[in-house]
Amino acid sequence: MKTTSEPTARLLRIHGLVQGVGYRNALQAQATRLGLAGWVRNRSDGTVEALVAGPADAVEALIEWSRRGPPAARVSHVDDAPAAPPTHTTFIRETTY
């Protein structure tokens, strides 16, 4: 995807049935396809948390995707807030319990 907008970073918290359904891998693949940097991880409260950074239009596209997620997910809502960009340039996956 070619993007031309200003860079931005957002911290997402995805609620619903989002663990055990391939959500992290799917989000990582979507973010990579959009040319974004960041990370994604499971939280002990059952949510998925992600920091995404890159061109604003690509970040917005990922936020829209995150409201649906992969086919097995059942997203109830997504919280997002401005964030500082990550210090690394590749999308990595962490898990915290």
- Predicted pLDDT of residue 27: 97
- Predicted pLDDT of residue 86: 84
Judge whether 25 counts as a catalytic residue.
Answer: no
Residue 87 — very low, low, confident or very high, per pLDDT cuts 50/70/90?
A: confident
77 domain residue, yes or no: yes
- Report the alpha-carbon distance of residue 44 to residue 25 in Å, rounded: 18
Which of 10, 25, 41, 42 is catalytic? The answer is 42
Q: Which residues of 10-32 are buried (b: 16+ CB within 10 A; e: fewer)?
A: bbbbbebebbebebbebbbebbe
Quote the tokens at residue 59.
Answer: 């970040």
Reported pTM? 0.88
Domain total in the chain: 1
- Determine the structural domain holding residue 37 and report its residue range: 7-93
Judge whether 42 counts as a catalytic residue.
Answer: yes
2 domain residue, yes or no: no
1 domain residue, yes or no: no
Quote the tokens at residue 86.
Answer: 């990550």
Kindly report the number of other CB atoms within 10 A of residue 6's CB atom: 8
- pLDDT: which is higher, 43 or 1: 43
- Predicted pLDDT of residue 91: 75
22-37 pLDDT per residue, tens: 999 999 999 999 999 9
33 domain residue, yes or no: yes
Average pLDDT over residues 33-56: 95
Quote the tokens at residue 31.
Answer: 């973010």
Contacts of 86 (CB under 8 A, 6+ apart): 9, 37, 38, 39, 51, 53
- Report the alpha-carbon distance of residue 31 to residue 91 in Å, rounded: 8
CATH number at residue 36: 3.30.70.100
Which of 24, 33, 43, 93 is catalytic? The answer is 24
